[in-house]
């Protein structure tokens, strides 16, 4: 596989150096692997810290900035960051109002954020945590016990980030983040495997002419493999899988997310089919976001995330945000 890299060992550091050059509004500590909004800590504001393995960009570093995360901790590719990174990030953004850790449900992330929370609290930082576990495809996987954390992470970080920007206290920001996660579900489909820089070849075998229904963002197996399907058929399967688990009474936010190698031409066409299914099922759509936001390196495919919202959650979703990967209203 051809990759635009120097050597596999420096991929993350090289990307962080490039991010620092492109985004002077961020403080990027390449050596310690921490990305912080430059104006942190903001007086009276709850800090939001998230992180995970690299390879899912713009998640999480691309979501650092006003209206979203205060800091992010990138690990090596598909590998959890270490507790020292998280403690350093928490200390950098804590104004005395406390810090919320947003944790995707993968075993390494959960263990390391738990350890970091204890260490940060020993340093006098109030910590709250929310676990994102929105993927309905499988209950357990290679990387986690329980549901995987995927596309809903974006909704949690955006809505909780807006609440923190308003000056809401830690307990309220945490409760909002939990409410978003409880009301969000995702399902992903892979059309091709991804290739890590270290391996230089596909990480799993997906024969030509087949797709993986319910794939994880590290290439974990899903529900089943089938012969290639049309966009219409994939939308039917994916949205029905989500709605089997989520029975929205309110309008929903829709994220049609690319896995990294699927062009917008295809994603917008897929979104048309997703919207068709939602209309047929009588599910009103409040807002839609289409693009590559929670990726898996160079995997071709897409995921669908739905999150039912009330007036408060929708207002927080619409609130201004200015990050490398998401921005509006500023």
**pLDDT tens figures, 289-325:** 999 999 999 999 999 999 999 999 999 999 999 999 9
> Average pLDDT of 152-180?
98
pLDDT over threshold 90, residue 140 = no
According to the model, what pLDDT value does residue 233 have? 98
Domain 184-319 fold is: Hypothetical Protein Tm841; Chain: A;domain 3 (3.30.1180)
According to the model, what pLDDT value does residue 91 have? 98
Please tell me the pTM assigned to this model: 0.97
According to the model, what pLDDT value does residue 138 have? 84
pLDDT over threshold 90, residue 93 = yes
pLDDT in tens, 240-266: 999 999 999 999 999 999 999 999 999
According to the model, what pLDDT value does residue 204 have? 87
**What count of residues does the chain have?**
330
According to the model, what pLDDT value does residue 145 have? 79
pLDDT, mean over the chain: 96
CA atoms 303, 301, 215, 6: torsion sign: negative
- 240 catalytically annotated: no
Q: What 3-state DSSP class applies to 126?
A: coil
User: Which helix (H) or strand (E) segment is 86 a member of?
Assistant: helix 83-93
According to the model, what pLDDT value does residue 144 have? 74
Instruction: Provide the residue ranges of all domains of the chain, joining segments of one domain with +.
Output: 10-183, 184-319
> Average pLDDT of 2-28?
97
- Greatest C-alpha distance within the chain: 55
According to the model, what pLDDT value does residue 46 have? 98
According to the model, what pLDDT value does residue 150 have? 97
> Average pLDDT of 64-74?
98
- 60 catalytically annotated: no
According to the model, what pLDDT value does residue 221 have? 87
Task: Show the beta-strand stretches assigned E in the chain.
Answer: 26-29, 34-37, 47-54, 71-77, 99-104, 127-132, 184-190, 210-213, 224-227, 252-258, 285-291, 301-308, 321-322, 327-328
Q: May I ask the CATH class of domain 10-183? A: alpha beta
Of 57, 103, 58, the residue nearest 81 (C-alpha): 103
């Amino acid at each position: 596989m051809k990759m635009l890299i120097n050597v596999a060992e420096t991929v993350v550091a090289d990307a962080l150096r490039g991010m620092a050059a492109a985004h002077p509004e961020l403080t990027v500590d390449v050596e310690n692997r921490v990305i912080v909004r430059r104006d942190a800590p903001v007086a009276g504001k709850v800090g939001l810290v998230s992180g995970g393995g690299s390879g899912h960009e713009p998640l999480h570093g691309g979501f650092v900035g006003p209206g979203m995360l205060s800091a992010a901790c990138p690990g090596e590719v598909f590998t959890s960051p270490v507790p020292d990174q998280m403690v350093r990030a928490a200390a950098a953004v804590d104004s005395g109002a406390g810090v919320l850790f947003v944790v995707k449900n993968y075993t390494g992330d959960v263990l390391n954020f738990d350890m970091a929370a204890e260490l940060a609290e020993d340093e006098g930082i109030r910590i709250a945590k929310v676990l994102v576990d929105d993927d309905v495809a499988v209950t357990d996987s290679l990387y986690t016990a329980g549901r995987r954390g995927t596309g809903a992470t974006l909704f949690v970080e955006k809505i909780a980030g807006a609440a923190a920007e308003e000056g809401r206290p830690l307990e309220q920001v945490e409760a909002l983040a939990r409410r978003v996660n409880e009301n969000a579900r995702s399902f992903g489909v892979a059309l091709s495997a991804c290739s890590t820089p270290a391996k230089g070849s596909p990480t799993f075998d997906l024969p030509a002419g087949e797709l993986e229904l319910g794939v994880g963002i590290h290439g974990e197996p899903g529900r089943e493999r089938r012969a290639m399907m049309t966009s219409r058929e994939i939308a039917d399967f994916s949205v029905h899988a989500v709605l089997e688990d989520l029975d929205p009474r309110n309008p929903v936010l829709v994220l049609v997310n690319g896995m990294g190698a699927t062009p917008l031409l295809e994603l917008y066409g897929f979104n048309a089919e997703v919207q068709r299914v939602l209309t047929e099922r009588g599910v009103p759509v409040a807002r839609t976001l289409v693009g590559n936001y929670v990726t898996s390196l160079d995997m071709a495919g897409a995921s669908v995330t739905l999150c039912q919202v009330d007036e408060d959650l929708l207002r927080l979703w619409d609130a201004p945000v200015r990050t490398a990967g998401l921005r509006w209203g500023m």
